[in-house]
Amino acid sequence: MSTLPTHIGQVEMAEVKGFLADDEAEALYRHGLASAPMGAVLEVGSYCGKSTLYLALACKAHNSVVYAVDHHVGSEEHQPGEMFHDPDLFNANDQHFDSFAEFRRNVRRSGLSDWVVPLVAPSTVCARHWQTPLAMCFIDGGHSLDAALSDYRCWSDRVMRGGILAIHDLYPEPELGGQAPIAIYRLALASGLYEEVERVNSLGVLRKR
């Protein structure tokens, strides 16, 4: 039986924009609960906050926080004319994609503001002077090979021994989806530093040896 909450505060989770399936969300929440007592939790690619809220709820149980890294101007696939563009998130006044207002609204209405630290900047900028070891890192940022590799190189070394590295949108067959996330997943396994814990739908979960 699923333990995943359907409502968090005033937020109906089924209505939050995002691409996280329920079984993937439940796995994130479960690993967040197990990881938060050990140290910091961080995600790369918050979008409108669906994964953020599940990780924040897990962190709340242990008085920890989730660091939510996202520049909020959209990845390549979110831009006008692209497959995953959402016109509701396009700022017509400034003529650019902007998911931050929706993200803040969801965090505020969830009642989890004290357990979410938004880092509104590119992943590379956030990682530049990062010193805190990560008990869990969830990578779900840009899906170009350059973006995925950059996120992996920025954050995988910062995961503590015994910590979790979770990567979203793993598709073994190219016709099912982009290959950048599964490329960095395979890179992590090939490094010998990580072992596979589980695969849930398109979410892969690794533990650092």
| Rounded Cα distance, 83 and 80, in Å | 9
Which letter, b or e, does each residue of 137-169 get, where b requires 16 or more Cβ atoms within 10 Å of its Cβ? bbbbbbbeeebbebbbebbbebbbeebbbbbbb
Question: CB neighbours of 156 closer than 8 A, spacing ≥ 6?
Answer: 137, 165, 188, 193, 194
User: If you count them, how many residues does the chain have?
Assistant: 209
| Rounded Cα distance, 204 and 106, in Å | 26
Whether the CB-CB separation of 25 and 140 falls below 8 Å is answered with no
Positions marked active-site = 143
| Rounded Cα distance, 55 and 41, in Å | 8
